[in-house]
Each structure stands twice: as C-alpha cells, then as structure tokens.
Amino acid sequence: MANVHLEGIRKVYGALPILHGIDLEIEHGEFVVFVGPSGSGKSTLLRMIGGLEKITGGTLKIDNKVVNTLDAADRNLGMVFQSYALYPHLSVRDNLAFPLKMAKKSKAEIAVKVKEAAALLQIEHLLDRKPKQLSGGQRQRVAIGRAIVRQPQVFLFDEPLSNLDTELRVQMRVQIAKLHQQLGNTMIYVTHDQTEAMTMADKIVVLKEGRVEQVGTPHDLYHRPATQFVAGFIGSPRMNFLPCSLTAKDERHVEVEVDGGVKGWLPIQALTAERGQKLTLGVRPDDFVAPTGKPGELTLDIEVDFVEHLGSATYLYGTTLGESIVARSPNDRFHVGRQGRVSLAVASTDCHLFDTSGRALPRLEAPQSWS
Ligand SMILES: Nc1ncnc2c1ncn2[C@@H]1O[C@H](COP(=O)(O)OP(=O)(O)O)[C@@H](O)[C@H]1O
Ligand SMILES: [Mg+2]
C-alpha cells in the first residue's frame, strides 16, 4: 500500500502542452477514478504515474518518495490496460507466473501466488488453457491476475473494461470493486464512463482538456458540481440546462426567471452576479416531482413527445419554454404512453445555477434529493 502525490505535474508533447499542472493527493488504500472525455489527458497522466511516459514538469511521489525518474519496473506497480496483452503461447498458469519468474521467485512461491490469484479471480478452472481459449471477460481477469501476483503497492487500470459487452462490464466492475475491498490496495482507474466512475470510486477526479475540473466523492460531484461541465458529465440522463436571468437577490437567495416566463427564488448565493445577468439553471431529470403548489418549487410545463419505459423508471422527453428537457416521471402511472402536456415541479433546493463562465453558484441548503 502507498499514497501517491502529484504536484504541478505537466506534460508537453513536442511543443504541445497536454497536461497543465495537476495537483492531486491520493491516500493509502483509496480507489481513485480519473474520468473525462476522450483526449482529456487521463491515460497520459496514468502513464506518467506508471513510469511509461516522461514527466515534463512537477513532482510525483509514491509512498512519500520522489519517483519522477525511477524506472517503471522499480515503482512496484501493477498495471492493467484495455488490451489484455497476454502471452498467446503461454497457458493462463504461465501468464500468471511470468512476472514472478522475471522477479526470480522460487518455484514453490510462484505456485502459491498463482493459486491465490486464481482463486481470488475465480479462474482456477482455466489455468491450463491458452488465452485464445478464453472469453473476453476471462482474459481480462487473467490480465488482472497477472498484475496482482507481485502484490504491487499501487494498481493502475486504463479503461480495462472497454472491450467487454455491457453485461460483463457490470460484472467485472463489481469484481474489481470487491478486489479492492479484499486487497485494500491503492487503485487508480481511468475511464471515460461516468457510470463506472460513480459506482467504483472513493474519489473521482474529473479531467477536462488537461486540467482538473473537480475532485470529490461521487456524492459531492452529483450534488455539488463545481462547474456546468461536471454537472453535465456526471449523472445519466444528463442534467437539463435552461437559460435564465437573475431578477432579484438577497444574501442567501436569488430569484431567477427562466427565459420564457417561469420565475422562482432559489437558496443559492450570488455574490458577484447582478440583476439582469444571464445564468443557466440546471435541473437533474431525477429531481422532478409532482407539483404540490406549495412555495419552494419551480413548476415547468413540459410538452412531451417521447416516453421511455425502463421498467424501474419512466423518462419523459420533450420541450419546455423552447428548450429540450428530460424528466423522470414521478410515478409510473404519471402520463404513461400518452403524448401531450404535463406539469412537473422541482424543489428550489434541488436547482443548480451556473454563470456564463460555467462556474456553479454556491448552493446554501442541502438538496431535498440528498436524503
Ligand atoms: N505520444 C503522443 N504524442 C503526441 N500527442 C499525444 C501522445 N499521446 C497522447 N497525445 C495527446 O494528448 C492528449 C491526451 O491524450 P490521452 O492522455 O490519451 O487522453 P485520454 O486518455 O483522456 O483519452 C490528446 O490530445 C492526445 O492526442
Ligand atoms: Mg485514454
């Protein structure tokens, strides 16, 4: 086990800056997920931690030691990538044993370690097979097993489940999370899939264009996104955004008018924003409720043009005030199967506001959907 500390980490390819000074503290035993769109620099950052890519600037510490120029092999890391990179001519047993043979471990020790890893990953019955005789999920488990056998202090994963079909991905996600519980290692996991990030991470690092956009628990990022980018990236279906403007404010509240007419007070602090300023209202599809008519909610009339039934939930797709909108139906019988108009409300405590630069205005009360 080890902590990982990044200070002002930069990467430049040729003359092209890719990472612009990343500061990050990863604790002992933490499961940290780097998430962001393709090209945001996730793999580059992970590869620099792994010693596969030169660090242009800044300081990288693993287990409190500066390792900027230490060889990958000497960093005591286990790495798993999207491509399994198993040796095709070796059996599963020999693939698992390979890193231990390279480390000149005794035959007896190798046998024990291979057996332990195989048991942990439930691949004992596959030990005599060759990689081509395995399914995608089985191969990925062998690749993980090969990273485990040397008991590295930190695991690095780069999109390890991207080649698997949906069902298997969900299974492997649970397996990796359980593995983390059992081993208690520090794990750094890269994915572009926000669902993977939300379900697996202790701490999520959202990257955008080579910069850290926000660091926090899944709960923080969902309920208190710091930017409109994070708000839109985390959560599915995506948060709805409606243009609005500030019509009044006091110290702890703002009144906004959504373009097209709906007005309401929100427990959000606008320190710098002034009356008339353009803002963006953010409402999660899952935060809609049946209107009660009581104060403290914003009611939107939605013109529904499509109803999606998922069994556990029903989503209504349509438009409100000229913008497209998605809302989870408050109950299954609410407007099922019919097209037309429906009124839905959102608690003012569940509303988000963003300024024109995309920064979130601070929400002062716990969201209703929090509990
Ligand atoms: N070897 C390289 N040479 C030049 N540019 C690179 C190289 N590797 C990655 N990049 C660029 O760095 C950026 C970040 O890439 P990457 O870290 O792979 O992103 P991600 O893993 O988030 O999709 C991209 O714009 C990519 O084109
Ligand atoms: Mg990548």
Ligand 1, from 9, 10, 12, 13: best to mutate by most atoms within 8 Å of Cβ? 13
Q: Residues with Cβ < 8 Å from 114, sequence gap 6 or more?
A: 93, 96, 97, 100, 127, 149
Q: What is the pLDDT of residues 161-220, one digit of tens each?
A: 888 888 888 888 998 999 899 889 999 999 999 999 999 999 999 999 999 999 999 999
User: Is the C-beta atom of 41 inside 6 A of ligand 1?
Assistant: yes
Instruction: Please provide residue 161's backbone torsions phi and psi, each rounded to the nearest 5 degrees.
Output: -105, 5
- Does the structure show a pLDDT above 80 at 233? yes
Residues 154 and 88 in one domain: yes
**The two three-digit tokens of residue 154, written as one number:** 């930190």
**The two three-digit tokens of residue 11, written as one number:** 């990467």
Q: Are 269 and 355 in contact (CB under 8 A)?
A: no
CATH of the domain at 15: 3.40.50.300
Cis peptide upstream of residue 88 (ω within 30 degrees of 0): no
Nearest-angstrom CA–CA distance, 349 and 328: 18
Domain containing residue 274: 238-354
Q: Other CB atoms closer than 10 Å to residue 60's CB: what's the count?
A: 22
DSSP-derived secondary structure for 189-232: EEES-HHHHHHH-SEEEEEETTEEEEEE-HHHHHHS-SBHHHHH
Residues 257 and 224 in one domain: no
Question: Would residue 368 count as lying in a domain?
Answer: no
Q: Give the pLDDT band of residue 229 (cuts 50, 70, 90).
A: very high
Nearest-angstrom CA–CA distance, 351 and 256: 11
Q: Is 262 exposed, middle or buried (0-12, 13-18, 19+ CB in 10 A)?
A: middle
Nearest-angstrom CA–CA distance, 243 and 220: 24
- Does the structure show a pLDDT above 90 at 237? yes
Question: Would residue 369 count as lying in a domain?
Answer: no
Nearest CA among 129, 119, 52 for reference residue 95: 129
Ligand 1, from 9, 12, 18, 233: best to mutate by most atoms within 8 Å of Cβ? 18
Q: Whose CA is nearest to atom 20 of ligand 1?
A: 39
State in Å: Cα 6 to ligand 2 middle. Answer: 19
User: Is the C-beta atom of 298 inside 6 A of ligand 1?
Assistant: no
Q: Are 315 and 287 in contact (CB under 8 A)?
A: no
Q: Which residues fall inside 5 Å of ion ligand 2, going by CB?
A: 43
Cα separations in angstroms, 229 against 85, 208, 210, 348, 357:
34, 9, 14, 21, 10
Q: Residues 311-318: what's their mean pLDDT?
A: 90
Among the three residues 210, 232, 254, which one is the final residue of a domain in this structure?
Answer: 232
Q: How far is CA 277 from the centre of its chain?
A: 32
Residues 8 and 140 in one domain: yes
* 108 sits in which H/E element: helix 107-120
Residues 320 and 262 in one domain: yes
Residues 330 and 346 in one domain: yes
Question: Would residue 367 count as lying in a domain?
Answer: no
State in Å: Cα 51 to ligand 1 middle. Answer: 16
Q: Global pTM?
A: 0.92
**The two three-digit tokens of residue 74, written as one number:** 């000497």
Residues 89 and 108 in one domain: yes
Q: Give the pLDDT band of residue 22 (cuts 50, 70, 90).
A: very high
Residues 270 and 327 in one domain: yes
pLDDT of residue 356: 94
Instruction: Please provide residue 293's backbone torsions phi and psi, each rounded to the nearest 5 degrees.
Output: 85, -5
- Does the structure show a pLDDT above 70 at 333? no
Q: Residues 238-265: what's their mean pLDDT?
A: 93
Q: Give the pLDDT band of residue 336 (cuts 50, 70, 90).
A: very low
Q: What is the pLDDT of residues 115-153, one digit of tens each?
A: 999 988 889 999 999 999 999 889 989 999 998 888 899
Nearest-angstrom CA–CA distance, 304 and 121: 47
Question: Would residue 201 count as lying in a domain?
Answer: yes
Question: Would residue 366 count as lying in a domain?
Answer: no
Nearest-angstrom CA–CA distance, 280 and 244: 6
Task: Report the chain's mean pLDDT, rounded to a whole number.
Answer: 92
Closest ligand 1 atom to residue 44 Cα is 17
Question: How many domains are there within the chain?
Answer: 2
